[in-house]
Structure 1
Amino acid sequence: MGGRSAERDVSLVTGNSICSALLERDVDAVTVDTAGDWRSEMLRKKVDVAFIALHGRGGEDGTIQGALELMDIPYTGSGVLASALAMDKIQTKRILDACGIPTAPYVSMGPGDYDHEINMPFPVVVKPSREGSTIGISIVREKGTLKKAIRDAARHDPYVLIESFVPGEEYTVGILNGKPLAVVQIVTANGFYDYETKYVTGADEYRVPAPLDPEMTELVRSTGLETSHALRCSGAVRVDLRGQDGNFKVLEVNTIPGMTPTSLLPKSAQGMGIDFQSLVLEMLKTAGEGSK
């Protein structure tokens, strides 16, 4: 947990929550902060299994997964390939498009492209390709502010994703061991589920299960599951979508979902009658699946 990414603080909360749950279920658990010499610390503490609670670069992008495989230590969650793909929003979009999974229309930009004109109706959403927790994301409602938003996103990642804003409501669905959990609707005052809402204040309302009819609920759940399969994810995954009237678009995939007091995966699991401690134990059971 911890690490050096922009999401370090969130990771520490996630890691401590998971460790407490494991200890309460009589599992011998210790925390290791990867900001230090974590390899030596893991060997010194004789770690048998790594429960990855890192968010952002270095922890959610396949890096730590590859290192743990070299150390022959089983770990929770998705493997190197799935982690790297899901962390890169542009590559995720390309794969989902190829698989026929609905996402919003988009263009991508790299170094040297930032001043190019785009042929898309406004509003659009501008995102760094390889950041999480809505870091560096902005909604652009008019052409005059687009270039600033692109350059702001590029401060976090030289590769920038620009996609059409999807009208409707925001939903998320957890996937646990290849099975979809309950659909959660996220209701916010400003219509944007940003960093502060995710980890500080929480949304104005979480509706679990989401107020969708059975057909729409199954559509969201099946789309989440197809998305997870397309990226070869394993363990616990969270798929975020947005839309209305049966027209749902996948926004992003999180291979290491947050496990803080306001996090969505625990809410999705709770909607299926799975409490926090049981969720953590189920995630632990998946250790080693990602490297297969």
Structure 2
Amino acid sequence: MGNQTGGAPVSDAPLHIAVLMGGWANEREVSLMSGNGVADALESKGHRTTRIDMGRDVAAKISEAQPDVVFNALHGVPGEDGSVQGMLDLMGIAYTHSGVATSVIAIDKQLTKLVLQPHGIPFPGGRIVSSEEIFERDPLARPYVLKPVNEGSSVGVAIVTDESNYGNPIGRDAAGPWQDFAELLAEPFIRGRELTTAVIDGPDGARALGVTELVIEHGFYDYEHKYTEGRTQHVCPAQIPPEIAALCEQYALKAHEVLGCKGTSRTDFRWDDEQGEDGLFVLETNTQPGMTPLSLVPEQARHAGITYPDLCDMIVREAIRVHAAKGAKATGGADG
């Protein structure tokens, strides 16, 4: 039987896991791939799963399923912004990945920057601009990047250069994120290389899994490159100087810790290799990285000796541990 009151087992016993996927965000199809992959992996470990496609009746479906724990395989809003996390907290159900406060901060790129920069984590400059503003003048010197403040998977990212077809200033009718978002984050374009580092929680604490370089023949690491097989080469481990790899792991671990991430996270970087250590910048930290066959966290885990089923199982066990600790603290049984 499932348990919604914090009494889910923390042993190695098989569990009943509701895998929450799909939804109505821009990343719905990726979430379905993640969720089904996770469910297959967990079943291979002997667990029982209930696959739930996120809808407005999601609370009723979870209550009916009575799971021991929910594996949150949603991407974007409302699965990654604290909404679903708050619902599950109110229901008293253990769930994977980060909690409400962390999710609210991390999905907002500008808020993430404000939280992490004081801890010595470097970000590109930039500011929030209105879409109306960019039709009058460039907010930054070209080249620069415009991106939605709270979308994942590089949804709606535009690189504005002197050679781009957007116009100068950007035309109202030009295709780009300004068509869909009233506000955008404008940042200087960092030339160089795309790097990423996954962090996973375990019994002995959080650890970085390594550094992957994303090599793209044309363009940048956008939604299509992320989820279309063959469009991007993953070099794992990245062929970069050891001091840069160490910095990536250090910054990713620090971001995971300061933001309060749980289960797993992935921090993305741009590195201007002509500038050495001064050319490394964090772009964002993902609290619910993709878990598709093409995804970076499973790939780095494999390189670290962790199979995909074991990775999914580790994330679930950590969720139960976190939930049990929260319950103990709430009743005065943890830290007094």
186-195 vs 136-145, greater mean Cα deviation: 136-145
CA contact (8 A) 2:137 2:169 kept: no
23-32 vs 156-165, greater mean Cα deviation: 156-165
Return 5+ residue gaps in structure 1 as ranges.
none
Match of 1:253 in 2: 285
Counterpart-to-counterpart distance in 2, 1:229 and 1:284: 19
SS at match of 1:285: helix
- Please tell me whether residue 176 in structure 1 is matched to residue 200 in structure 2: yes
Counterpart-to-counterpart distance in 1, 2:131 and 2:219: 31
Match of 1:209 in 2: 237
Counterpart-to-counterpart distance in 2, 1:63 and 1:8: 16
Match of 2:247 in 1: 219
Q: Measure how far apart 1:100 and its partner are.
A: 2.5
- Please tell me whether residue 164 in structure 1 is matched to residue 188 in structure 2: yes
SS at match of 1:29: strand
2:216 maps to which of 188, 209, 228: 188
Q: Output aligned runs, 1:56-95, within 5 Å.
A: 56-95=76-115
* 1:62–1:151 Cα change, 3 Å: farther
CA distances 1:130-176 after superposition (whole Å, capped 9, x unpaired): 11111111111037154559983244433310101111110110010
Match of 1:107 in 2: 127
Counterpart-to-counterpart distance in 2, 1:35 and 1:132: 20
CA distances 1:205-263 after superposition (whole Å, capped 9, x unpaired): 11111112322211110011112222221210010001122221001111111011111
CA contact (8 A) 1:171 1:185 kept: yes
CA distances 1:5-53 after superposition (whole Å, capped 9, x unpaired): 1111110010000000000110111111112511111111111201000
CA contact (8 A) 1:187 1:203 kept: no
Counterpart-to-counterpart distance in 1, 2:151 and 2:180: 7
Counterpart-to-counterpart distance in 2, 1:284 and 1:88: 25
- Please tell me whether residue 120 in structure 1 is matched to residue 140 in structure 2: yes
Match of 2:298 in 1: 266
TM-score (norm 2): 0.81
CA contact (8 A) 1:82 1:232 kept: yes
The root-mean-square deviation of aligned C-alpha atoms, in Å, is: 2.1
Match of 1:198 in 2: 226
- Please tell me whether residue 282 in structure 1 is matched to residue 302 in structure 2: no
Name the aligned partner's letter for residue 159 of structure 1.
Answer: E
2:37 maps to which of 9, 17, 24: 17
Counterpart-to-counterpart distance in 1, 2:301 and 2:172: 39
Counterpart-to-counterpart distance in 1, 2:314 and 2:173: 40
CA contact (8 A) 1:48 1:74 kept: yes
* 1:71–1:198 Cα change, 3 Å: same
SS at match of 2:110: helix
CA contact (8 A) 2:216 2:232 kept: yes
Return 5+ residue gaps in structure 2 as ranges.
1-20, 327-336
TM-score (norm 1): 0.93
CA contact (8 A) 2:195 2:269 kept: yes
* 1:119–1:14 Cα change, 3 Å: closer
Match of 1:152 in 2: 176
SS at match of 1:249: strand
- Please tell me whether residue 136 in structure 1 is matched to residue 156 in structure 2: yes
CA distances 1:64-102 after superposition (whole Å, capped 9, x unpaired): 000000000011001111111111111112222232210
SS at match of 1:239: strand
Paired residues, number: 292
Q: Which has the larger radius of gyration?
A: 2
The percent of aligned pairs where both chains have the same amino acid is 36
160-169 vs 268-277, greater mean Cα deviation: 268-277
* 1:204–1:198 Cα change, 3 Å: closer
CA contact (8 A) 2:129 2:139 kept: no
